[in-house]
Structure 1
């Protein structure tokens, strides 16, 4: 005979549904943000996009470290290989795509590397690394997941709208691309698998990390829109 706790565990919905439901207002705010709408209609100032590219270069270096730590804690050999590959991919994106964008913006990857790390970038990556270092695998996975999942959803949404600006169309295409979408589906499926084995309390803690880093995603685009700098 199944105990009440076993029945409750058995009928829980997929963890990914629980996670996404928790950030619906944040995701709507992202789609409505003038940085995102400016990508679509071509009105986003080049200075704002340059700020984003520079800060994203800084962000991805620490994000790669966070993914490598997820690989070290991953439950299966396949998961270890996948996260290790994603960490390499994050570095490759920083070196290739961002170098190309900087060249189009009249700069270079070297200039981006020497630009100051902004307040939001510093806060976001510090939170990510602290969570992945100090938390469980599920905590770390939940913390890194918004960067995968929100970008995939935004890319998918914007791909349907496109942009009159060829530079912004390239950015949209990179995240709306099926190759990136398939990677994200794999990580979301892993979140469901890991969440299924977790207690309700563990899921709640991981969900809090997911919500926090989703908010940081909004803040990252907002920082680029404002060309955020250290106030003192």
Structure 2
């Protein structure tokens, strides 16, 4: 069993809850309120800007040139995806980029991005990789799980196809292969630290979709 497979086994229950969440299941049966998806998409655009900053830090800490190239490209693509995918959504909803950027981050978005950036600044490469891996891997798994069902809502179908695409799959597979290579040189204690970050970030992935479904407000 590869190290990445061991990691995913640790989040089996979290991933099952993600697939069962009404936000995710509502994408395929069309029951998800479009207001909830719009809230999520705006928050995701804000998230990806911070995720991109973290990927740049990950690239700077990379022990090999190919990994640095991979994450520098990913940092750029996080913004490109935001502009292409979310931009097409926002145009349909009559939202300008200025309106999106002026939107406050929801509580769970602040929690998730703050965690990722703290890890990216403070921890060694292998731990940062473990923290950033769920955003790649879980979205790919969700995309693959949903694409066979499709969606009656064009915007939802576009979202599903993006994360089930061969292009996204190739990127995720490269990150997974890197994780497994890096793990070969880690001690048991170092692997445990990677696993802890991987599990924590996976929890935040669940919380992010729940944030969208609830259109999470600030209570104070």
Compute the TM-score of the two structures, normalised by the length of structure 2: 0.98
Per the alignment, residue 198 of structure 1 pairs with: 186
Residue by residue over 1:125-176, the C-alpha shift from the partner in whole angstroms, topping out at 9 and shown as x without a partner, is 0000101111110100000000000000000111111111111000000000
Q: Does residue 42 of structure 2 align to residue 20 of structure 1?
A: no
Please tell me whether residue 116 in structure 1 is matched to residue 104 in structure 2.
Answer: yes
Q: Helix, strand or coil for the counterpart of 1:164?
A: coil
Q: Considering only CA atoms, is the larger Rg found in Structure 1 or Structure 2?
A: 1
Answer 1 or 2: higher relative contact order, Cα 8 Å, separation at least 6.
Answer: 2
Q: Give the equivalent residue in structure 1 for 2:166.
A: 178
Counterparts of 1:139 and 1:161, CA distance in 2? 35
Instruction: Report the CA distance between 1:111 and its aligned residue.
Output: 1.4
SS of 1:96 mapped into structure 2: helix
Q: Which runs of 5+ in 2 are unaligned?
A: none
1:78 aligns with 2:59: no
| Aligned-residue offset at 1:15 | 1.2
For residue 48 of structure 2, what is the aligned residue in structure 1?
Answer: 60
Deviations 1:36-55 (A, max 9, x none): 01100011101100110110
The structural deviation recorded for 1:119 is: 0.5
Structure 2 Cα separation of the partners of residues 185 and 221 of structure 1: 23
Match for residue 118 of structure 2 among 119, 130, 148? 130
Aligned length, in residue pairs: 220
Residue 168 (structure 1) aligned with residue 156 (structure 2): yes
* Unaligned stretches of 5+ residues in structure 1: 1-12
**Equivalent residue, structure 1, for 2:216:** 228
TM-score of the pair, normalised by structure 1: 0.93
Contact 1:14 1:195 survives alignment (8 Å): no
Supply the distance in 1 between the matched residues of 2:210 and 2:141 (Cα, whole angstroms).
Answer: 18
Q: Is 1:99 aligned with 2:72?
A: no
1:110, distance to aligned residue in structure 2 (A): 2.0
Partner Cα separation in structure 1 for residue 57 and residue 77 of structure 2: 15
